[in-house]
Amino acid sequence: MVCASFVLAVAAAVPCAQAQQVAVRAETLYPMTGDGPISNGIVLVKEGQIEAVGPAAQVDVPSSGYRTMEAQAVTPGLVDPHATVGMTSLANRSGANDQLDRTAAVQPELRAFDAYTPRAPLVEFVQRLGVTTVHTGHGPGALMSGQTMVAKTEGGLDEAIVDSVAMVAMTLGPQVSGNYDTPGTRSKSMAMMRETFLEAQRYRAKRRNGSEENAPTRDLRMDVLSKVLGGEVPALITAQRASEIQSALRLAEEFGFELVLSGAAESYLLADRISDARVPVILHPTMARTGGQSENAAFTTAKTLMEAGVPVAIQSGYEAYVPKTRVVLYEAAVAAGQGGLTRRQALRTVTIDAARILGVEDRVGSLAEGKDADLALFDGDPLEYTTHTCGVLIGGEVVSDECK
């Protein structure tokens, strides 16, 4: 609990250490439900959840027992739909970056929560800027780099985890060959992926249909891929070129697994095909440096995909340079300013739409009664560059009350 006085707050007669009940007043409230923002809105927080939300005329604030916080704008806590924070350090320190293991190109058995550092400076960095939930873990660069997780940006590991095994991260493209001796070509990559899934099919069938005595010895790699084939865990495939996106779609069709595309720089060329396959896209950062596989990235890709009916979220991704991450709010802002999205559509890509793609919309991504009390408070329009994040609540706890 942060006990410093909040810049935009009116302190209630409640000691900070006991402030489990909070009334948040906003000139403009963005609940990300219903038709649009609410003028002069209120969110009541109690015992870690949202107790009530709506216009001030409809929500009564108790006369005592609540800490009152005020802001010009309030949104749900932001959701970063694909990051490596907690697995990468704030700086390029040797031995502190675990998002990619370079000993083998196929390692789906690697678990994000075995390496995740919940109190890392980089986690705090994005938290102070309004990001309260991250989908993080093993990053792109290997055919199968490992498992991802969904976590809050506050608390120890057990407290932070929302979903310990969210997806299995995979990559198609020449960047894999740059990290490993094999595969060397795109066709070799696809052959290795297909062979691994065929092996997983055989393993899964034997485990399900055979007797205990004849069942194959447990294999960590095959265990998680069996869950992918069974629809329990999606495959998150980073594919930038149209040809690689098509390969990912074919792979999902052949093996019947749930696919989520990541990066997808040239997805605007295949918007209808992606929509027909009912595959969501966690798009590359809008301001990503274009070059190599993403040289044809466009500001307008999110809009093109949405118009085709594709669910879209915008990610921070992985950065090789410090501070090792982007901030999804800024990426969403550019998608509105330069990419043609409405401001509401842009906010959805880093709140409720991101939460839906991750399957955690019952807890986060919007402000509604009974959901986790994760809020971001701003001193202006959230999508304006000059606006500051002036307060963050996670699970009803005020974790930041300083303007950043």
Q: How confident is the model over 104-116, as pLDDT tens digits?
A: 999 999 999 999 9
- What is the model's pLDDT at position 208? 86
pLDDT(10) > 70: no
Per-residue pLDDT tens over the stretch 267-325: 999 999 999 999 999 999 999 989 899 999 999 999 999 999 999 999 999 988 888 89
pLDDT(14) > 70: no
What is d(CA 312, CA 281) in angstroms, rounded to the nearest whole number? 5
- What is the model's pLDDT at position 166? 98
Per-position DSSP letters for 278-322, written without gaps between them: T--EEEPPTTPPP-GGGTT--TTHHHHHHHTT--EEE--B--SST
Q: Domains, the chain, ranges and CATH?
A: 9-77+367-400 (2.30.40.10), 78-358 (3.20.20.140)
What is d(CA 182, CA 92) in angstroms, rounded to the nearest whole number? 26
Per-residue pLDDT tens over the stretch 142-156: 999 999 999 999 999
**Residue the block writes with tokens 């865990």:** 233
pLDDT band at 209 (very low <50, low <70, confident <90, very high): confident
Angle, CA 346 vertex, CA 151 and CA 392 arms, to 5°: 45
Where is average pLDDT lowest: 178-192, 229-243, 252-266?
178-192
Q: Are 165 and 233 in contact (CB under 8 A)?
A: yes
Tokens matching residue 25: 């007043």
pLDDT(11) > 90: no
- What is the model's pLDDT at position 93? 78
- What is the model's pLDDT at position 13? 36
* C-alpha closest to that of 260 among 297, 228, 289, 300: 228
- What is the model's pLDDT at position 151? 98
Per-residue pLDDT tens over the stretch 57-100: 999 999 899 999 999 999 999 999 999 999 998 887 777 789 99
DSSP reduced 3-state for 392:
strand
User: What is the overall mean pLDDT for the chain?
Assistant: 93
204-236 core/surface letters (b: 16 or more CB in 10 A; e: else): beebeeeeeeeeeeeeebbebbbbbbeeebbbb
pLDDT band at 211 (very low <50, low <70, confident <90, very high): low
* C-alpha closest to that of 240 among 175, 300, 333: 175
Helices (H) and strands (E) in the chain, counts: 11, 17
Q: What number is the average pLDDT over the span 3-27?
A: 56
Measured in degrees and rounded to the nearest 5, phi and psi for residue 187 equal: -65, -35
Q: Are 37 and 10 in contact (CB under 8 A)?
A: no
What is d(CA 47, CA 22) in angstroms, rounded to the nearest whole number? 9
Measured in degrees and rounded to the nearest 5, phi and psi for residue 10 equal: -110, 110
Q: Which residues pair with 67 in a beta bridge?
A: 22
How buried is 117 (Cβ within 10 angstroms: 0-12 exposed, 13-18 middle, 19+ buried)? middle
pLDDT band at 399 (very low <50, low <70, confident <90, very high): very high
First to last CA, the chain: 18
Contacts 24+ apart (CB under 8 A), 292-296: 292/174, 292/175, 293/173, 293/174, 293/175, 293/240, 293/241, 293/244, 293/265, 294/240, 294/263, 294/265, 295/265, 296/265, 296/266
Question: pTM for this structure?
Answer: 0.93
What is d(CA 190, CA 132) in angstroms, rounded to the nearest whole number? 36
What is d(CA 28, CA 30) in angstroms, rounded to the nearest whole number? 7
- What is the model's pLDDT at position 110? 98
Q: What number is the average pLDDT over the span 245-249?
A: 98
Tokens matching residue 393: 């609540």
* C-alpha closest to that of 259 among 192, 343, 189, 193: 193
